[in-house]
Structure 1
Amino acid sequence: MISQSLTLAWRSLIPMKNSPGQLIGLLMQPVFMIVVFVYLFGGSGGDRAGAVLYMLPGVLTQVALIATISTGMNLATDIDNGVFDRFRTMPIARAAPLAGRILADLTTLMLTIAMSLLIGYVVGFRVQTGPLEALAAVGLIVLFAFALSWGSAYLGLVIKSVTTMQSMATAVLLPLTFGSSAFIPATDMPGWLQWWMGVNPVSHLASALRGLMVGGLRAGDVWISLGWTAVIAAVFVPLALRAYSRRVS
């Protein structure tokens, strides 16, 4: 099944070669976010260097989480176009097309992460810890996004309209990202919002990335992020597999 999933992941990536606009849009997304959050918002206080160090891990978090929406959208589009009906006639593992779709989207996620780090370097971001810690930060965000991709896949399988699926996923992710400490310290917020930021898993993920890349790591943020990753995967992997089995049966 692994080789079949990798083959189908490659099949999902090939169309990007014939649609350069899709790839350009994918790579430009972190550029726009860094410009908005670092230069427009972060630079207002005069400490642009400090804003870059604080906000780039938040940008990485938001880019990765929003990128997971494409998994459900692409999956729903493939099913509506009858692509999975053709896969069903082939001698491959039933879950291989689903796994291939998620692996393909993780590959594009890695491109956006690389682009975010490149633009971050251009605007002055430097890893303050070490290469192992930086790799651990990338691994953590990829793991979290991988788990969340299964949730996106589940929505894409149970909601027939691609537009509705995108709207629902965005309605869930935007409050999580903007209602977190990814871009603004919780201490600058009112009490009720500080409480929400404290329990928000995105806050812990952004803090873990910031600690691994900038310094001042709190091990609790890493463990909480890994715990949320395990919970999300444990809930949505079986749900997505069951919904996929029903859609293609």
Structure 2
Amino acid sequence: MPVDAHSTTLVRAPRGLHRVPGLLRRMGAFALVELQKLSHDRSELVTRMVQPALWLLIFGQTFSNLRVIDTGDVPYLAFLAPGIIAQSALFISIFYGIQIVWDRDAGILAKLMVTPAPASALITGKAFAAGVRSVAQVVGVLIIAYLMGIHLTGNPLRILAAMGIVVLGSAFFACLSMTLAGLVRNRDRLMGIGQAITMPLFFASNALYPVDVMPGWLRWLSAVNPLSYEVNALRALLIGTPGNTWLDVGVLLVAAALGVVTASALLRRLVR
């Protein structure tokens, strides 16, 4: 039977669960691109460790000697170390939206938006890359803590789990930053907003002091602050304080998912 030379075969786009492998590949590609940027400036990993080192060496040592914050049977420096890990990751990820504004200004974002990849793949890839960048803070703070004689866990499984917690927390705050980028669409304004909300997020958490010493209104803010749940999970893993780790992980997962959805919805507004 003769074959029509003009006949074509329709290839249907994958639907439902069949789209998942392709979506994961696109997320991985976007995350890999972001991580490759770090390889061009490896000194960033070293400079990022200056701030947590100062917090432990100066703030931590001073308040540990003053004994003004009651942390029970846990030495204050051990209590503080997981909070400093979460704080360092927050400071890295909360300004991640500036990079997406740079991509917009360079014309890169407009090109990415016309690819078959959905906006959620781009946002998730960038959020995951922000989390991986923050993992270096876990390793760095642990090294500083061991050198200072602070008793944190040496269990590799617990350390890996702590890295996963940091990735989740950083992913949420990176998505928050990219959401703000979609709203303000300006690098300078985004920088100002990031600086304005970073310290309130940090101080309205349990990173520096227990919830019990907070006034009532600050306890409420701490209860709705994802950073508090990140710190709780890190303390349970690194120093063994009692807590509800599954609740903490669940809150971080929901927060990260909502962050991806919100930032994805606002991404096209950024390129208009």
TM-score of the alignment, normalized to the shorter chain, above 0.5? yes
The 3 A distance-change label for structure 1 pair 59 and 241 is same
> In the aligned structure 1, how far is the partner of 2:247 from the partner of 2:178?
23
Q: Which sits farther off after the overlay, 9-18 or 56-65?
A: 9-18
- Mark the structure with the bigger radius of gyration: 2
The residue number in structure 2 matching 1:240 is 263
> In the aligned structure 1, how far is the partner of 2:33 from the partner of 2:224?
39
Of 219, 223, 233, the match for 1:208: 233
Unpaired runs of 5+ in structure 2?
1-22
State yes or no: 1:226 paired with 2:269: no
> In the aligned structure 1, how far is the partner of 2:141 from the partner of 2:147?
10
* Alignment length (residue pairs): 245
The 3 A distance-change label for structure 1 pair 243 and 114 is same
Of 131, 153, 157, the match for 2:182: 157
Of 22, 26, 36, the match for 1:14: 36
> In the aligned structure 2, how far is the partner of 1:72 from the partner of 1:133?
30
State yes or no: 1:40 paired with 2:62: yes
State yes or no: 1:59 paired with 2:81: no
The 3 A distance-change label for structure 1 pair 16 and 145 is closer
Of 111, 117, 141, the match for 2:142: 117
The 3 A distance-change label for structure 1 pair 186 and 102 is closer
Deviation at 1:57, TM superposition (A): 0.8
Runs of 4+ in 1 over 6 A off after TM superposition: none
Write the letter of the residue equivalent to 2:32: W
| Residues 63-117 of structure 1 deviation map (CA, whole Å, 9 limit, x = unaligned) | 122222132111112112211123346x551434433322322221112222122
> In the aligned structure 2, how far is the partner of 1:212 from the partner of 1:44?
27
> In the aligned structure 2, how far is the partner of 1:189 from the partner of 1:24?
34
TM-score when normalising by structure 1: 0.81
> In the aligned structure 1, how far is the partner of 2:225 from the partner of 2:128?
26
Name the one with the larger helix percent.
1
State yes or no: 1:169 paired with 2:191: no
| Residues 158-209 of structure 1 deviation map (CA, whole Å, 9 limit, x = unaligned) | 2222232233233333223212222122344445545554564433432332
Q: Which sits farther off after the overlay, 156-165 or 202-211?
A: 202-211
> In the aligned structure 1, how far is the partner of 2:93 from the partner of 2:124?
14
Write the letter of the residue equivalent to 1:79: R
Q: Which sits farther off after the overlay, 186-195 or 78-87?
A: 186-195
> In the aligned structure 2, how far is the partner of 1:36 from the partner of 1:174?
18
The residue number in structure 1 matching 2:101 is 76
Of 108, 114, 117, the match for 1:93: 117
The 3 A distance-change label for structure 1 pair 232 and 80 is same
> In the aligned structure 2, how far is the partner of 1:25 from the partner of 1:111?
11
The residue number in structure 1 matching 2:211 is 186
**Is the 1:76–1:156 contact (alpha carbons within 8 Å) kept by the matching residues of 2?**
yes
Q: Percent identity?
A: 27
**Is the 2:127–2:172 contact (alpha carbons within 8 Å) kept by the matching residues of 1?**
no
> In the aligned structure 1, how far is the partner of 2:185 from the partner of 2:130?
20
> In the aligned structure 2, how far is the partner of 1:247 from the partner of 1:190?
39
Deviation at 1:58, TM superposition (A): 0.8
Cα RMSD, aligned residues only: 3.0
Unpaired runs of 5+ in structure 1?
none
Provide the secondary structure at the position in 1 that maps to 2:95. Answer: helix
TM-score when normalising by structure 2: 0.75
> In the aligned structure 2, how far is the partner of 1:200 from the partner of 1:86?
35
